[in-house]
Amino acid sequence: MNGTIDVLLRLLGVLVVFLVFPLLVGQTEHKVMAHMQGRLGPMYAGGFHGWAQLVADGVKFAQKEDVVPADADRTVFQLAPAVALLPYLLVLVAIPVGPHGFVGQNLDAGLFFVLAVMGVGVLGSLMAGWASSNKYSLLGGLRTAAQLMAYELPMLLAAASVAMAAGTLSLPGIVGAYHWWWTPWQLVGGVVFFTAGLAELQRPPFDMPVADSEIIFGAYTEYTGLRFALFLLAEYAGIVVLCGLTTVLFLGGWHGPWAGGVGWLWTLAKTALLAFVVIWLRVSYPRLREDQLQKFAWTVLIPLALAQIALTGVVKVVTS
């Protein structure tokens, strides 16, 4: 009985994080971009510092008409937002927040699990583009597929380097094996992993699949109301997952002063800092062209990831 209650409490905690943290990232993005770019709109709703902007956005999406194109594949069209969003809920179950079993579920092959499930989320965009019966949506979906194939490989290679260093595929095990000198040792792999993750989420400057100046809004052109809001929520949930994974794999997770008592706070602080970097990059860099996007993956990130694996192998052999 106690075991069942423990599982239910862990799942409830994961669900609360899944429902709250992406909204906090969205609200933070409004405020950070408003400050960096001098935007007045996000600072107005509700009075003090635009605190009600998130509420206003929710009401706006709820009021919009839910439209399904006449020639669309109705079932696939309606399922696509859920397919894009739900994998991130499953991934959160396996990400450790603190020591002493502070994780939804400790999986022996947790790294394989999270990377495999994250790859499923991109299928939501492909389903949306194909089912919309719209040439702009289809083109956006094809760009999404090309981007997924290009950036999945460097992400997997960078994660494999950390697994080699730790000697385990368990995420809590990887954090437990962390030493301070891992950060400079695995720095290149961390940058590759984080960058490839941004590209898979189609975040600027890797947002060519939703280039509004060319293809309206890519695979999501025909979506309105709450279905469109679910795609946005999936993007912010993906940011939380990416930053959490980068923290666990490359920044030591809960390691820090007084980690035994406030380790979970270190994990959240590092994740929040990376989320700020994601927002900062959106404000700072222009969108890459499709050819630049592909070239960057195949000629820069993949060679760097392979070099990181080679370095990890050499260091492991020398130190053993």
Please give the tally of structural domains in the chain. Answer: 1
Closest CA to 84 of 275, 235, 243: 235
pLDDT tens by residue, 32-61? 888 888 777 777 777 777 788 888 888 888
Domain coverage including residue 54:
2-319
Residue 4's pLDDT is what? 81
Determine how many CB atoms are found less than 10 A away from the CB of residue 69.
Answer: 16
In terms of Cβ atoms closer than 10 Å to its own Cβ (0-12, 13-18, 19+), residue 22 is buried
pLDDT (mean) for 194-199: 94
Q: Residue 19: its pLDDT value, please?
A: 86
Whether the per-residue pLDDT at 293 is higher than 70: the answer is yes
pTM: 0.91
pLDDT at 243: 95
- Give me the pLDDT at residue 1, please: 62
With a cut of 90, say whether residue 189 has pLDDT above it: yes
Which pLDDT value is given to residue 113? 93
Average pLDDT, the chain: 87
- Categorise residue 216: left if φ over 0, alpha if ψ from -120 to 50, beta otherwise: left
For range 176-195, the mean pLDDT:
91
CA distance 8 to 35: 41
Per residue in 105-158, pLDDT (tens digit) is 888 888 999 999 988 878 888 888 889 888 888 888 888 888 888 899 999 999
Among 179, 226, 199, 173, CA closest to 298: 199
